[in-house]
């Protein structure tokens, strides 16, 4: 059983919450979200928010918090082989109440079908709301170009603008 090693990023001004499934090996090593250089999360988010692509953990946190974005994962611990979402077993979900009790989260998004699957299975009923599934930024989702991902992810801009 592997424990999630990364604390969520949020503050009381966070208005949207983006949830991944579980950190990759590279992210667990770096102890921050989307650490694999081939993952397009930071490129997509920066493009959608009309910002520079953040290169450090501190600049990534600043990008999120300055736009009212909270970031975490659905899974607190699981058995997983490498970074393979398809190998995930024995899931223990994260407790989102910590974030939801602190911030006025207006909308929840999940990064990909795996995050959506586990959100629906373990968290939707507890949280009491649906999550909007966005296409995965993982390099395994090779069918989606960077431009196409940016277009699909641009829906978060509406929620960010509405809360500013």
Which range of residues forms the domain containing residue 115? 2-163
Look at the chain and report how many structural domains it folds into: 1
17 contacts: CB under 8 Å, gap ≥ 6: 10, 69, 70, 71, 72, 96, 99, 100, 103, 105, 107, 108, 109
Instruction: Output the domain CATH number for residue 91.
Output: 3.40.470.10
131: Cα within 13 Å, side-chain hemisphere: 32
Tell me the pLDDT of the chain (164 aa) as tens digits: 999 999 999 999 999 999 999 999 999 999 999 998 899 999 999 999 999 999 999 999 999 999 999 999 999 999 999 888 889 999 999 999 999 999 999 999 999 999 999 999 999 999 999 999 999 999 889 899 999 999 999 999 876 665 55
């Amino acid at each position: 059983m592997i424990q999630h090693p990364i604390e969520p990023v949020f503050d009381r001004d966070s208005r949207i919450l983006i949830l991944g499934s579980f950190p990759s090996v590279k992210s667990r090593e770096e102890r921050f979200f989307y650490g694999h250089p081939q993952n397009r999360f930071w490129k997509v988010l920066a493009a959608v928010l009309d910002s520079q692509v953040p290169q450090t953990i501190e600049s990534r946190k600043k990008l999120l918090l300055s736009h009212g974005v909270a970031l975490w994962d659905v899974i607190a611990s699981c058995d997983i082989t490498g970074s393979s979402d398809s190998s995930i077993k024995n899931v223990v979900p994260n407790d989102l109440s910590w974030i939801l009790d602190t911030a006025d989260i207006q909308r929840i998004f999940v990064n990909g079908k795996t995050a959506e699957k586990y959100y629906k299975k373990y968290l939707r009923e507890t949280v009491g709301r649906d999550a909007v599934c966005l296409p995965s930024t993982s390099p395994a989702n090779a069918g989606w170009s960077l431009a196409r991902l940016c277009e699909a992810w641009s829906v978060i801009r509406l929620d960010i603008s509405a809360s500013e």
